[in-house]
Amino acid sequence: MEAALLRSPFLRRAAPAVLLLPLLAGAPPAGAGVARAGSLQGQFAGAAERHGVPVKVLLAVSYLQSRWDTHGGAPSVTGGYGPMHLTDAATALADAPHHADGTEDARGDDARPPRTGAATRPAAAPSSERLRTLVRAAALSGRSAEALRTDPGANIDGGAALLAAAQRESGRAASADPADWYGAVARYSGADDTATAAAYANDVFDVIRTGEARTTDSGQRVVLAADPAVVPATGQLAALGLRAPAKGPVECPRSVACEWVPAPYEEFGDGDYGNHDKADRPVSQSVDYLVIHDTEGSWDTTLKLVRDPTYVSWQYTLRSSDGHIAQHVPLKDVAWHAGNWFVNAKSVGLEHEGFLTSPDSWYTEAMYRSSARLVRYLAKRFDIPLDRQHILGHDNVPGTTATTIKGMHTDPGPYWDWAHYFRLLGRPIEPSAGARAGVVTIRPDYAAHQPVYTGCVTAGEACAPHGSGAVRLHTAPSADAPLVADIGLRPDGQAATTGVNDTGARASTGQSFAVAERRGDWTAIWYLGQRAWFLNPRREPTAVNARGLVLTPKEGLESVPVYGRAYPEAAAYPAGVPVQAVAPLPYRLLAGQRYVVGGRTPSEYLFAPTFDTTGHTVVRGQEEYYEIQFGHRVAFVKVADVRVSRA
């Protein structure tokens, strides 16, 4: 029975489909989006008419920057304001890179001293023109800088003025045909190289071709009707005078702009070295996970940090303003990014320019789309399933042992839009089972779902209201019931909190859990060894019913241990390689409980404690593990301890 189940499509790796972005269905019909006086739609129409810019171009550029949201006048991570993302970095930016907080051993390997990333924090200056577009928009439009930052209508007008100026400066007339604006759109990106500018402009025209419609964060409905026949004049790019793309051994899809900014592999005395390890993946080990991070710092700061040999590393950094990508570590090598050596050895790390505790320092559509293209490319290359058991947030990576759980990082946090991201990946999170399903997948309406978080600015104080893809978990089916406890974070059993960095009672979009009980508008799931309830009303569900495989302890076992890494048994280690303890986490998977299976993995340990790679060894054992969705973070259990069944 179990052998047959393990051949089922739930555990078998399927080659991910490669789709062209945009991947959002349901484009609005032609004629939709009639402008009303005073509406956001009307403000786009008015600004387009005043400056001679096709309204479709203006709408599409704004969608790629902000998805037409206003963010209450708060700046983005790159210092951009309003629907047109006009940048004023000198006013907006502050740097606090999260890898330098000194709490997590980014390498996560017991065989070496901890590498916490407690490096100096270089300040980033807004040196690029792309970070100062608001000042120019003010001069062109006659609007004040303050109005451009705080008034959506003025901001749209300023963006239209910039586009019109870009068209004039190229020597072209203000044509009514969107196709004639390719060069102006490319220049609006602020990119200084042809590849990034082209990738940005191509995305804008993809939006024009397919159309978009959504209700913004200010409650306004904005519609861009599809124009599938538009064929942009891509030859205009050559006249912009941009530099050629930076060359290097980059590993990126052709549909993104990618440059090589190498992380140093250097030895600097006393047997220490950094900031990654040489390897030969996937020959030496399979790559099974892609880990999504945010930088907690600006683009310039982040690139300075990854080029520090005494620091930590990751494979890619993605820029918010235009989706540009820098690669730092070859995919065959192991970066130090996840805080768990087993995961590091079998993953690729993607850093996104952003701030976890600043919900309105938003991730642009341009960056989401570049990231989705990169992830699809990597998933196809390494045969990685496009699901939340393999596309992890840093906050989903488990601690290695009981002592490291508290120090694990919590990015990209509750404001990363996983539902939108998976639509862009071509794997939208949709129901796959009926009302009595034994598995649910978390999926609240991101924009409308606004649970209260605290501690974004001041400890204990409420964060600004904002959409979120995470649900709260209670000990009983009531909003007044305490939140569940995570004994790994609080060994005394105290309940979790509403803190924005407290993952102890949180389930995020795309994560799947076995149903323990349903009662009215509430659903209970098995979570960290306990029943955990979340509000899931039939009319406004926060989860969808799903199929899946679940596991439970084998008959006769009252409980089984749970692990943060899938290390081999002691007998598998050759002479000269220290045995790594198979240390359980402080949780138990109890008889009668069920957890969703993410995949089956062999036990492995990469022994790589030295700069000289000749002694590096991959240890493989007879023991096998299942990855499971155990809490907010994934975990591992031994195959020998459990039985698998269909939910």
Residue 404 has φ and ψ, to the nearest 5°, of -100, -5
Q: What are the tokens at 465?
A: 């209201």
Name the phi and psi angles at 395, rounded to 5.
-75, -5
How does DSSP classify residue 104? S
Rounded CA-CA distance 599/507 in Å is: 19
Residue numbers of the chain with a pLDDT score lower than 70: 1-37, 93-102, 114-127
For residue 83, the SS3 value is coil
pLDDT (0 to 100) of residue 131? 82
Find the helix packing angle between 365-382 and 55-66, rounded to 10°: 60
pLDDT number for residue 116: 59
- CA–CA gap between residue 647 and residue 28 (Å, rounded): 38
CATH number for the domain running over 255-414: 3.40.80.10
Contact 515, 438 (CB under 8 A): yes
- Residues 549, 553, 556, CA angle at the centre, nearest 5°? 140
Q: Identify the CA nearest to 620 among candidates 636, 640, 605, 608.
A: 605
The domain defined by 40-88+132-240 carries CATH number 1.10.530.10: yes
> 398: exposed, middle or buried (C-beta count within 10 Å: 0-12, 13-18, 19+)?
buried
pTM: predicted TM-score of the whole model, two decimal places: 0.92
Q: Which residues of 565-600 are buried (b: 16+ CB within 10 A; e: fewer)?
A: bbbbeeebbeeebeebebebbbbbbeeebbbbbbbe
At residue 28, the pLDDT reads: 55
Domain residue spans in the chain?
40-88+132-240, 255-414, 429-547, 552-646
Instruction: Give the integer Cα–Cα distance in Å for 286 and 128.
Output: 39
- Give the list of residues 6+ apart from residue 560 with CB closer than 8 angstroms, or none: 553, 554, 588, 589, 637, 638, 641, 642
| Rounded Cα gap, residues 88 and 148, in angstroms | 10
> What SS3 state is found at 637?
strand
Distance of alpha carbon 68 from alpha carbon 63, whole angstroms: 5
The helix, strand and coil proportions of the chain, stated in percent and rounded to the nearest 5, come to 25, 20, 55
**According to the model, what pLDDT value does residue 9 have?**
34
CA dihedral (454, 456, 462, 466) positive or negative: negative
Tell me if residue 482 falls in helix, strand or coil: coil
The pLDDT, as a whole number, for residue 627 is 98
Please answer whether residues 230 and 201 qualify as being in contact, where contact means their C-beta atoms are separated by less than 8 angstroms.
no
